[in-house]
């Protein structure tokens, strides 16, 4: 072979054997009679780097005949001066003594000889299925010292045959950094073949590797490792892993001081049964506190912008085209600008919260929070897997309902889909913040935090109630979480995740909320009494108010039966953001009370609660927030439930949500008004 | 004494919730635990699902907002953009 550099081979289909391909007419290896050495190993262990280091530019890469798998072939040259064979009467003719080069075949990455990919199939074909005479003369297995157990599986399987095996141990520096020291001599003793430490990037250890391969070739093929007959796949693999465990134990020493990584040290607290949940709660409280505190001035500024200059500009523009004072002005100013504009004031708040959550996610902490939540779910007997859609539900209930598909059992899927609506999505967050700011000022962050805690309690409580009644026979399913190490958050990922979520919020505001605002405006424009015209009716006399008044008595025991509050909750069935736009619309078209600032939406809402609660506004507000958190999230969630669990269970879920929400709200108000 | 794979499976069944806990329950080195779990996934005894907060585990195809052919309906480039960070992997026993 005279190739210099790498080129693609175009070869005819042939038997998948190393000897046939290397010593055939094409002559892509070393000279005739040179031993063939195969280089094997799992992907990403430094195999190709070692191949390049051993062959230099004397290599070619191409598809193996009859396959699409890339295989490299090259010439491994070395000085042949030293006699390494132990032949009693060698006259320089044995394979180990004579050659000054090997044909080196870089087999495709394979973790095991039980193939699950074309790469592994070819490796097996060349090393196991080929006739004995067609197999390579020796196999160098590249083993990653930092993932020793994983890499040794191939060694273990090869030792069950008569292959001459030499282990090339890479990544010892990485293993050392992780506190693992590999003793190559002890490891060689344990695995029953030579182990050579190499660093292909720095080209160290290559001479030793050459020497060990030559010595190995000078010896007869070893006897195969004796393996007891196994009853099934698991028993056979268990035996292999027992061998691997023994080899790892014998060949490695772990530094106690270094054993714990940074992630391990942090996880001792983050995953502690008591400290873990407390830390999680503290972190989430901090997120909500920072969000509400820092975003408040921006929110006020945007609110002033929409109620002031933007509304004035639209009015002025409509006046110029002769539409001032008409229903068009009502729709645009009192409807779209007031409703959608109020929702848009939450953009800074949502953006800030999304940034903070993205930072937590990117750092790896949210994965720990998932473990903490998982433990909670399991402690109350819910299936381990159920926590996954529930976690997604805190972002948005709609994909969370779809995520219940990961549950194999239909009963678990239904139960989880019924619990998802109790997870407090980000749409509800906007209402918590608005109401919390109006009634609790700077403690709004704590109010939001409490609402999330209550959301978790509702999930647990309703889950327990359903399990104790309808789901008594359902078993728990084991779930183990593989945690990623902590890392410094990256700007790109944080910005990407934040923008994606903010886009979702803006899409809702510009889509479904615009439609809802128009529908609400339409209902507010239709009079209930004769003598009033469309578009100029006071909202109190509109079809909208009449409908709300019909429903309002239901909420009297909960202390929030003002028709304005009731109507906002009814509109909230469409989407929770619509609660805010609905309030903004109602109070934008309502004449302010004497001495009240026309733009002071908070004062108007406060007044409604004060009146409906009979002087106990705070218990009524808590009752309202709890009802808002627990009742049906939005029509999109209902549609998703219908698709996933059918109409019957969806209606059952809505009934449960309304019953639980109403009962809890009434209980909170009735008990609360005794104290406040 | 049973082999490492059986011990890992037993730890799953006994309620271990993280690989660290599996290591503590089995007495196996972290490296052996990880290799065992990977191998059990290969054998089909354990199911592994990468999770990213905000996206369903099935990606766009498993999302109610997903468009035709599994395209993202939420406006994101793809769920993979949110999956380049630390990814939590849920491991469950396959029935």
Q: What per-residue confidence (pLDDT) applies to A396?
A: 76
Q: What per-residue confidence (pLDDT) applies to A24?
A: 41
User: A321 or A64: whose pLDDT is higher?
Assistant: A321
CB B63 to CB A399 under 8 A? Answer: yes
Q: What per-residue confidence (pLDDT) applies to A294?
A: 86
Asked if A244 and A295 sit in the same domain, the reply is no
A314 falls within a domain: yes
Q: What per-residue confidence (pLDDT) applies to A616?
A: 94
What gap in Å lies between CA A419 and CA A463, rounded to an integer? 7
Q: Is B50 touching A (CB cutoff 8 A)?
A: no
CB B38 to CB A375 under 8 A? Answer: no
CB A384 to CB B32 under 8 A? Answer: no
Q: Identify the residue among B28, B41, B47, B56 best suited for mutation to test binding to A, counting A beta carbons within 10 A and taking the highest.
A: B56
Q: How far is CA A240 from CA A106, A143, A227, A312, in A?
A: 25, 16, 9, 78
pLDDT band at B4 (very low <50, low <70, confident <90, very high): very high
Domain termination site, one of A213, A231, A257: A257
- Angle CA A4–A46–A103, to nearest 5: 40
Domain count, chain A: 2
Range name among A251-255, A307-311, A321-325, A504-508 with the lowest pLDDT average: A504-508
Asked if A252 and A319 sit in the same domain, the reply is no
What gap in Å lies between CA B65 and CA A399, rounded to an integer? 7
Asked if A152 and A289 sit in the same domain, the reply is no
**Where are chain B's structural domains?**
1-43, 49-95
A281 falls within a domain: yes
Domain termination site, one of A193, A225, A257: A257
User: A236 or B48: whose pLDDT is higher?
Assistant: A236
Q: A142: part of which helix (H) or strand (E)?
A: strand A138-144
Asked if A234 and A315 sit in the same domain, the reply is no
| Residue partners of A215: CB distance under 8 A and separation at least 6 | A84, A96, A194
Which residues in chain A have Cβ-Cβ distances shorter than 8 Å to B70? none
Residues A573-610: pLDDT tens digits? 888 888 888 888 888 765 545 555 545 788 899 999 99
Highest mean pLDDT among A57-71, A352-366, A539-553 belongs to A539-553
Asked if A115 and A203 sit in the same domain, the reply is yes
Which residues in chain A have Cβ-Cβ distances shorter than 8 Å to B2? 238
Which 3 state secondary structure label does DSSP give A103? strand
CB B32 to CB A254 under 8 A? Answer: no
Chain B residue with CA closest to A373: the answer is B17
CB B55 to CB A399 under 8 A? Answer: yes
Asked if A134 and A248 sit in the same domain, the reply is yes
A263 falls within a domain: no
Among the partner residues A147, A479, A507, nearest to B90 by beta-carbon distance: A479
Residues A431-465: pLDDT tens digits? 998 999 899 988 888 999 999 999 989 998 998 88
Q: What is the mean pLDDT of residues A110-137?
A: 89
Residue in the block written with tokens 């023994």 = A246
Residues B6-21: pLDDT tens digits? 999 998 888 787 788 8
Dihedral (Cα; A246, A247, A252, A254), 10-degree rounding: -30
**End-to-end CA gap in chain A:** 93
Token readout for A493 is 């990922």
The per-residue pLDDT of chain A, averaged, comes to: 81
- pLDDT over 70, % of chain A: 83
Which residues in chain B have Cβ-Cβ distances shorter than 8 Å to A357? 53
pTM to 2 decimals?
A: 0.62
On the question of pLDDT at A251 being above 90, the answer is yes
Q: What per-residue confidence (pLDDT) applies to A4?
A: 33
Asked if A338 and A210 sit in the same domain, the reply is no
CB B20 to CB A271 under 8 A? Answer: yes
Asked if A234 and A299 sit in the same domain, the reply is no
Note which residues in 71-90 of chain B have CB less than 8 A from chain A.
74-77, 81-82, 84-90
What gap in Å lies between CA A184 and CA A197, rounded to an integer? 7
| Pick from A53, A72, A162: nearest CA to A122 | A72
Asked if A308 and A188 sit in the same domain, the reply is no
A476 falls within a domain: no
Q: Identify the residue among B14, B27, B92 best suited for mutation to test binding to A, counting A beta carbons within 10 A and taking the highest.
A: B92
Q: What per-residue confidence (pLDDT) applies to A59?
A: 57
What gap in Å lies between CA A662 and CA A9, rounded to an integer? 74
Note which residues in 16-45 of chain B have CB less than 8 A from chain A.
16-22, 28-29, 31-32, 34-39, 42-43, 45
Q: Tell me the nearest-neighbour CA distance from A665 into chain B, angstroms.
A: 30
Q: Is B70 touching A (CB cutoff 8 A)?
A: no
Asked if A308 and A432 sit in the same domain, the reply is yes
Chain B residue with CA closest to A253: the answer is B29
CB A496 to CB B54 under 8 A? Answer: no
Domain range for A26 is 8-257
CB A482 to CB B2 under 8 A? Answer: no
pLDDT band at A559 (very low <50, low <70, confident <90, very high): very high
Q: Identify the residue among B2, B13, B32, B70 best suited for mutation to test binding to A, counting A beta carbons within 10 A and taking the highest.
A: B32
Q: Tell me the nearest-neighbour CA distance from B93 into chain A, angstroms.
A: 6
Asked if A233 and A96 sit in the same domain, the reply is yes
Q: Is B13 touching A (CB cutoff 8 A)?
A: yes
Q: Tell me the nearest-neighbour CA distance from B57 into chain A, angstroms.
A: 6
CB B64 to CB A361 under 8 A? Answer: no
On the question of pLDDT at A3 being above 50, the answer is no
Q: What per-residue confidence (pLDDT) applies to A212?
A: 94
Q: Are A565 and A555 contacting, i.e. CB atoms less than 8 angstroms apart?
A: yes
CATH of residue A233's domain is 3.40.50.300
Residue in the block written with tokens 């068009």 = A328
Which residues in chain A have Cβ-Cβ distances shorter than 8 Å to B38? 150
What gap in Å lies between CA A487 and CA A361, rounded to an integer? 10
Residues A69-122: pLDDT tens digits? 667 888 888 876 555 555 555 555 555 555 688 899 999 889 999 988 888 888
On the question of pLDDT at A646 being above 50, the answer is yes
What gap in Å lies between CA A545 and CA A305, rounded to an integer? 28
User: A385 or A241: whose pLDDT is higher?
Assistant: A241
A334 falls within a domain: yes
pLDDT band at A124 (very low <50, low <70, confident <90, very high): very high
pLDDT band at B50 (very low <50, low <70, confident <90, very high): low
| Pick from A538, A536, A584: nearest CA to A328 | A536
Asked if A406 and A432 sit in the same domain, the reply is yes
């Amino acid at each position: 072979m005279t190739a210099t550099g790498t080129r693609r081979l175009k070869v005819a289909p042939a038997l998948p054997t190393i000897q046939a391909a290397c010593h055939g007419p094409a002559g892509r290896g070393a000279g005739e009679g040179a031993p063939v050495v195969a280089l094997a190993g799992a992907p990403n262990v430094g195999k190709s780097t070692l191949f390049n280091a051993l062959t230099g530019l004397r290599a070619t890469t191409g598809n193996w005949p009859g396959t699409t798998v890339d295989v490299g072939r090259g010439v491994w040259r070395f000085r042949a001066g030293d006699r390494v064979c132990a032949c009693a009467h060698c006259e320089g003719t044995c394979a180990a003594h004579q050659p000054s080069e090997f044909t080196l075949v870089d087999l495709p990455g394979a973790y095991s000889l039980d193939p699950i990919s074309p790469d592994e199939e070819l490796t097996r074909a060349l090393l196991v299925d080929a006739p004995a005479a067609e197999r390579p003369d020796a196999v160098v297995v590249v083993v990653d010292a930092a993932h020793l157990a994983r890499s040794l599986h191939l060694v273990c399987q090869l030792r069950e045959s008569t292959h001459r095996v030499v282990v090339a141990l890479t990544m010892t520096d990485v293993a050392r950094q992780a506190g693992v020291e590999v003793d190559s001599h002890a490891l060689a003793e344990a695995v029953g073949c030579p182990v050579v430490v190499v660093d292909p990037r720095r080209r160290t250890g290559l001479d030793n590797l050459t020497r060990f391969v030559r010595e190995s070739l000078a010896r007869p093929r070893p006897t195969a490792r004796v393996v007891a007959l196994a009853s099934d796949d698991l028993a056979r693999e268990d035996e292999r892993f027992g061998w691997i465990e023994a080899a790892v134990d014998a060949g490695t020493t772990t530094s106690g001081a270094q054993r714990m990584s940074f992630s391990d040290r942090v996880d001792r607290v983050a995953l502690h049964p008591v400290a873990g949940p407390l830390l999680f709660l503290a972190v989430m409280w901090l997120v909500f506190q920072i969000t509400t505190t820092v975003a408040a001035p921006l929110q006020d500024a945007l609110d002033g912008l929409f109620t002031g200059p933007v509304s004035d500009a639209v009015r002025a523009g409509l006046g110029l085209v002769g539409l001032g004072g008409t229903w068009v002005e009502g729709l645009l100013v009192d409807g779209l600008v007031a409703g959608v504009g109020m929702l848009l004031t939450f953009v800074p708040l949502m953006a800030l919260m999304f940034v903070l959550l993205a930072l937590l996610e990117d750092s790896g902490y949210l994965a720990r929070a998932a473990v903490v939540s998982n433990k909670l779910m399991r402690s109350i007997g819910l299936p381990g897997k159920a926590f996954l859609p529930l976690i997604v539900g805190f972002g948005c209930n709609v994909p969370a309902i779809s995520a219940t598909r990961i549950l194999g059992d239909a009963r678990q899927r239904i139960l989880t889909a019924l619990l998802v609506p109790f997870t407090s999505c980000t749409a509800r967050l906007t209402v918590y913040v608005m109401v919390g700011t109006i009634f609790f000022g700077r403690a709004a962050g704590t109010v939001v935090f409490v609402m999330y805690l209550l959301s978790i309690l509702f999930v647990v409580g309703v889950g327990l109630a359903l399990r104790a009644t309808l789901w008594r026979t359902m078993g728990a399913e084991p779930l183990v979480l593989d945690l990623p190490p902590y890392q410094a958050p990256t700007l790109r990922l944080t910005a990407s995740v934040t923008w994606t979520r903010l886009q979702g919020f803006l899409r809702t505001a510009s889509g479904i909320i615009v439609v809802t605002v128009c529908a609400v405006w339409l209902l507010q424009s239709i009079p209930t009494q004769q003598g009033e015209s469309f578009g100029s009716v006071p909202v109190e006399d509109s079809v909208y108010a009449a409908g709300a008044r019909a429903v309002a008595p239901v909420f009297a025991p909960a202390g929030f039966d003002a028709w304005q509050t009731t109507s906002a909750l009814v509109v909230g069935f469409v989407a929770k953001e619509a609660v805010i736009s609905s309030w903004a619309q109602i109070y934008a078209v309502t004449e302010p009370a004497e001495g009240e600032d026309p733009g002071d939406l908070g004062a108007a809402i406060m007044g409604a609660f004060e009146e409906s609660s009979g002087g106990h506004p705070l218990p009524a507000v808590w009752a309202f927030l709890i009802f808002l958190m627990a009742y049906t999230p939005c029509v999109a969630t209902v549609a998703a439930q219908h698709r996933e669990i059918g109409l019957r269970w969806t209606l059952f879920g809505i009934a449960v949500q309304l019953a639980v929400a109403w009962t809890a709200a009434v209980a909170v108000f009735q008990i609360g008004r005794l104290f406040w | 004494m049973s082999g490492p794979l059986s011990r890992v499976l037993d730890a799953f069944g006994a309620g271990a919730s993280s690989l660290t806990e599996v290591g503590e329950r089995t007495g196996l080195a972290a490296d052996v635990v990880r290799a065992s779990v990977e191998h059990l996934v290969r054998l089909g005894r354990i199911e592994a699902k990468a999770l990213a907060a905000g996206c369903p585990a099935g990606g766009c195809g498993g999302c109610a907002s997903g468009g035709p052919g599994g395209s993202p309906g939420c406006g994101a480039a793809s769920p993979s953009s949110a999956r380049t960070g630390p990814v939590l992997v849920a491991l469950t026993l396959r029935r």
